[in-house]
Structure 1
Amino acid sequence: MKKIVIIDYGLGNLRSVRKGLEHAGADVIISSDPAAILDADGVILPGVGAFRDAMRNIQALLDTISSYVSSGKPMLGICLGQQILMSESEEGGHTQGLDLIKGSVLRFPHTELKVPHMGWNSIGISRKHPFFEGIPDNTYVYFVHSYYVDTAAGNTLASSEYGTKFAASVINDAGNVIGTQFHPEKSGDMGLRMLRNFVNMC
Structure 2
Amino acid sequence: MRHRDETCAEPLSLRALRVDDSAAMAVVLADASLYRFTGGEPPSVADLERRYAVQTRGHSADRTETWINSIVVLGARQEPIGYVQATIPEGGAPAEIAWVIGVPWQGRGYAARAAALLVEALVRRRVDRIIAHIHPEHAASQRIATRLGMLPTSTVVDGEIRWEVAIAAPATAVSLPDCAPTASGIFDADAGTRPGSTRPGQGAPR
TM-score tier by shorter-chain length is: under 0.3
| Structure that is richer in strand per residue | 1
